[in-house]
Structure 1
Amino acid sequence: MKLPFLMRNDCSRCALSGSIRKIVILLFLFSLLAGCELEEKKIAPKANLENDSQELIEPVRLKSNLFDRFIGWTGKNTAVYVTKESENHSYEIREYNIMNGLENAIYSAKVPIISVSISPGQSYFLIHTSSSPEKADIEIISRDGYSIFSVSITSSEISFEWNRDNEDQLLVTSFFEDWSFTNYIVNVKQKTIEPVNIPEPFAQWSGSDELLFLGLDQNQTDIAGTLLKKRVSGNTAVTVEENVVQYRMLAENLIIIQLDQDRQNLLYKIKRDNRGAQLLLQTSLLAANTEPQIPYWEIVEKKKSLLTFLPDDNGEELFNLVSFDWNSNKQTVIIQNAENAPLQCSPYGGLCLYGYQLEKIIDLQAKRVFDIVEPRKDA
């Protein structure tokens, strides 16, 4: 999820301006970004998948301190996760088949793996490691683990966004200690990294040579901003929508979350081509520790559905996970009394990784949650 914050937009390395509140918003934003066993394994409860047949989900079994987090999907039944063994300085990326339990190690390192990003077509993995607090080491590997391109840049934190229309290209944003930043374009095939003049961080591709980003007035502390569009090589940005809090560019559609005129409600909308935005869902704006809270949300584009967490009627800090079909306008409760936590849904539909380590799986049709990670009995 991406929230706006205040930056000067006069150069590619921009200095943060504004109050401590704005830095807190940025930190909140950044916090949201972001073993092979041959023994016989027990079978987890049955899950009802896309074809309505009863399939078996095979959990990963590891020592309790070895599992770090799941990253995302690489196929209908395969996903990637990270292991860490700090004492031996051993870190791995493994691809796992959730149906038969087969897995293979794709990548290993002697330094902690900070983050991993899978390209839209699952051809590449971007791996972020660091040997010092002032440097980010970026390596891009192929699906089979072959190293294609690596580079080190000065950075305290980084974010990255793949180009959906050309997965040989991605945007990398490098942040510094004062939260100033530099945007770069990485070309995987050409093995190049070049600074690019984008006035804000956390931009998203809207075409092969076009980016979307949120812009705010320098003196504004509102969480909503203006969604702008700019060509990579151009100097002029055009307005797409106003009062936007978050957005996501899909293969065919643009999803936006806006504040209403009273600044009390969130409006979830879908925008197709150059047509007006269609309202999908309206919910009350929540507050956590006096700061606005946007529940986690996800899109299953193949199913034409938006998933998000809505507050439970009992008023406690629990939510209902709901799915909204934007073709039929039908809203379905998937999980009741759920925790508001990150979702990573398979592009093929049916299953979603869930949790702060993506350590669970939600079967959208069976409306059930399964643990995908279990401790080994001999651990």
Structure 2
Amino acid sequence: MEQRKNSSIRMFLFLCTIPLIILFGCQHEKDVGVQPVKKHNHSLGKEAIPHSFISNEIMTPIPIENGQFNTIYGWLNNETIIYMTNVGLGSNVYTYNVFTGDSSLIFESEVPISSVVPSPSGNYILIHSAPSTYEGIISIINPKGEQLMSERISAYEFAFEWNPYDENLMLISAFAENWDFSMFQMNIKEKKFDEIHNKEPFVNWIGKDEIIYLNWDQKDVSLFAPLVKKSINEQNEKMLLEDVYYAKAAKDLIMTITVNSSASDEAVYTFLSKDLQELSSFTVPHLTRYSDWLVPYFDFDAENQLFTLQPLLSTEADLYRDGFQLWSFDAVKGEKEMVMENLKNEPLNCSPDGKYCLYGFNFEKLIDIQSKKVLPLIKDF
């Protein structure tokens, strides 16, 4: 009797256990392939865990949900890029976090957008929309898409230059169809838009109130010009250097390109402090064009590290077929390192920390500096 009773109890417990086994077995099967970190992230929300704890992988390709991809315009910070799509006759502007895959619509325009220019720190975004061939609307927004300022200008083409010393200030050169130009200074903080006068339309800031530019002689056809500086609101031009072929300023740094006096087939890249103290230099082979030399694409990160493409030898640009090397160069330390080989000469735009560079004529690719890989950002582009 007691044995029968014990058998009944065992049978009862076995029958009660079967649903639990099935329940837990189904639950385990449902969780197969789901990583614990991702489950935890989903339950807490994406904002609760930094991406670096979840993954350091780039999330590609960018999902284009509305419209047709047009181009990527640069970095807002070390994680976020800006891109644009064509939607009907207008354009949409999005931000995209390359690590989390989060995409946000920040600006919609019923007319085409010609360019999007983030400020150096990413606090502001300039959007140039074009309601007609001879008119532009310049809008300043913040990363959330809130409009801070807008101006309508009659012009055929534009050039923009953010002030890295005071990002409330922006210089805008507005060109007529015959390339006559007017220059304006936009002050976002004070909501001012004033015309200023300068000999040259393409300038770089070297201080809150000072600019530099090459002072070309319009009557003399030359490959070189003096590098000059002046205060933005005064005509107090001062020559800094003679016989400069190309000049570019980053914050607290000036880069010039000249020709090697002892080897005319080489270009000399020289880096100067704001007070013109030489910091470092290096030489690269020249590629000649019909009337000048080719300056391969380059960009600086936030620490003034230069990333530049360079050819393997000097010859005519149209005949060159040997590919380009990507080099990094620390302008202060003078240290140069080759990153990659066999690249094309296409535009670069590097993240502030210098770990990644957008690459391509639409910035549709991403160069991972550490892994030395080129990743496509847009599917089938």
Q: TM-score range by the shorter chain?
A: 0.7 to 0.9
Q: Helix, strand or coil: the match of 1:172?
A: strand
Q: Give the Cα–Cα distance (whole angstroms) in 2 for the partners of residues 165 and 104 of structure 1.
A: 29
Q: Give the Cα–Cα distance (whole angstroms) in 2 for the partners of residues 294 and 233 of structure 1.
A: 31
Shift of 1:291: 4.2
CA contact (8 A) 1:312 1:337 kept: no
Q: What are the Cα deviations for residues 277-305 of structure 1, in whole angstroms up to 9, with x where unaligned?
A: 24421122212455421111112242x53
State the one-letter code of the partner of 1:359. Answer: E
Q: Given the alignment of the two structures, is residue 187 of structure 1 paired with residue 187 of structure 2, yes or no?
A: yes
Q: Give the Cα–Cα distance (whole angstroms) in 1 for the partners of residues 217 and 264 of structure 2.
A: 17
Q: Helix, strand or coil: the match of 2:245?
A: strand
Moved more, 349-358 or 279-288: 279-288
Instruction: Report the counterpart of residue 321 of structure 1 in structure 2.
Output: 326
Instruction: Report the counterpart of residue 282 of structure 2 in structure 1.
Output: 281
Q: Given the alignment of the two structures, is residue 225 of structure 1 paired with residue 225 of structure 2, yes or no?
A: yes
State the one-letter code of the partner of 2:104. Answer: N
Q: Give the Cα–Cα distance (whole angstroms) in 1 for the partners of residues 69 and 105 of structure 2.
A: 14
Kindly indicate which of the two structures has a greater share of residues assigned to strand: 1
Shift of 1:275: 4.2
Q: Give the Cα–Cα distance (whole angstroms) in 2 for the partners of residues 177 and 161 of structure 1.
A: 20
Shift of 1:327: 4.6
Q: What are the Cα deviations for residues 34-68 of structure 1, in whole angstroms up to 9, with x where unaligned?
A: xxxxxxxxxxxxxxxxx9x9721111033897111
State the one-letter code of the partner of 1:257. Answer: I
Q: Given the alignment of the two structures, is residue 162 of structure 1 paired with residue 162 of structure 2, yes or no?
A: yes
Shift of 1:241: 1.8
Shift of 1:317: 4.5
Q: Give the Cα–Cα distance (whole angstroms) in 2 for the partners of residues 284 and 278 of structure 1.
A: 21
Q: Give the Cα–Cα distance (whole angstroms) in 2 for the partners of residues 300 and 91 of structure 1.
A: 29
Q: Give the Cα–Cα distance (whole angstroms) in 2 for the partners of residues 64 and 257 of structure 1.
A: 43
Shift of 1:205: 1.1
Counterpart of 2:77 (choices 72, 75, 78) is 75
Shift of 1:229: 0.4
Q: What are the Cα deviations for residues 228-259 of structure 1, in whole angstroms up to 9, with x where unaligned?
A: 10001211211122222222222222222223
Instruction: Report the counterpart of residue 351 of structure 2 in structure 1.
Output: 346
Q: Which has the higher contact order (CA 8 A, sep 6+)?
A: 1
Shift of 1:119: 1.3
Q: Given the alignment of the two structures, is residue 334 of structure 1 paired with residue 335 of structure 2, yes or no?
A: no
Q: Given the alignment of the two structures, is residue 365 of structure 1 paired with residue 370 of structure 2, yes or no?
A: yes
CA contact (8 A) 1:90 1:109 kept: yes
CA contact (8 A) 2:172 2:185 kept: yes
Shift of 1:313: 5.8
CA contact (8 A) 1:224 1:259 kept: no
Instruction: Report the counterpart of residue 28 of structure 1 in structure 2.
Output: none
* TM-score relative to the length of structure 1: 0.79
Which sections of structure 2, spanning at least 5 residues, go unmatched? 1-51, 315-319
Shift of 1:218: 2.2
Instruction: Report the counterpart of residue 267 of structure 2 in structure 1.
Output: 266
Shift of 1:330: 3.4
Q: What are the Cα deviations for residues 147-204 of structure 1, in whole angstroms up to 9, with x where unaligned?
A: 1111111111011111111111110000011111011111112222111111110111
Q: Give the Cα–Cα distance (whole angstroms) in 1 for the partners of residues 134 and 175 of structure 2.
A: 10
- Match runs of 1:1-379 below 5 Å: 55-59=56-60, 60-62=62-64, 66-85=68-87, 88-261=88-261, 263-289=264-290, 291-302=292-303, 304-312=304-312, 316-375=321-380
Instruction: Report the counterpart of residue 42 of structure 2 in structure 1.
Output: none
Shift of 1:92: 0.7
Q: Give the Cα–Cα distance (whole angstroms) in 2 for the partners of residues 328 and 194 of structure 1.
A: 40
Shift of 1:351: 0.6
State the one-letter code of the partner of 2:321. Answer: E
Structure with higher Rg: it is 2
CA contact (8 A) 2:367 2:374 kept: yes
- Cα-Cα RMSD: 2.3
CA contact (8 A) 2:77 2:121 kept: no
Number of residue pairs matched? 322
Q: Give the Cα–Cα distance (whole angstroms) in 2 for the partners of residues 274 and 329 of structure 1.
A: 18
Q: Helix, strand or coil: the match of 2:182?
A: strand
Q: What are the Cα deviations for residues 304-347 of structure 1, in whole angstroms up to 9, with x where unaligned?
A: 53221121369624111112233554332211110011000011
Q: Give the Cα–Cα distance (whole angstroms) in 2 for the partners of residues 64 and 319 of structure 1.
A: 36
CA contact (8 A) 1:280 1:324 kept: no
CA contact (8 A) 1:169 1:187 kept: yes
| Distance of aligned partners of 1:254 and 1:291 in 2 relative to their CA distance in 1, 3 Å threshold | closer
CA contact (8 A) 2:253 2:272 kept: yes
CA contact (8 A) 2:280 2:331 kept: no
Q: Helix, strand or coil: the match of 1:68?
A: strand
Instruction: Report the counterpart of residue 11 of structure 1 in structure 2.
Output: none
Q: Give the Cα–Cα distance (whole angstroms) in 2 for the partners of residues 149 and 325 of structure 1.
A: 37
Q: Give the Cα–Cα distance (whole angstroms) in 2 for the partners of residues 249 and 291 of structure 1.
A: 21
Which sections of structure 1, spanning at least 5 residues, go unmatched? 1-50
Shift of 1:71: 0.6
CA contact (8 A) 1:63 1:375 kept: no
Shift of 1:107: 0.2
Q: What are the Cα deviations for residues 191-223 of structure 1, in whole angstroms up to 9, with x where unaligned?
A: 221111111101111111111111112222223
Moved more, 64-73 or 249-258: 64-73
* TM-score relative to the length of structure 2: 0.79
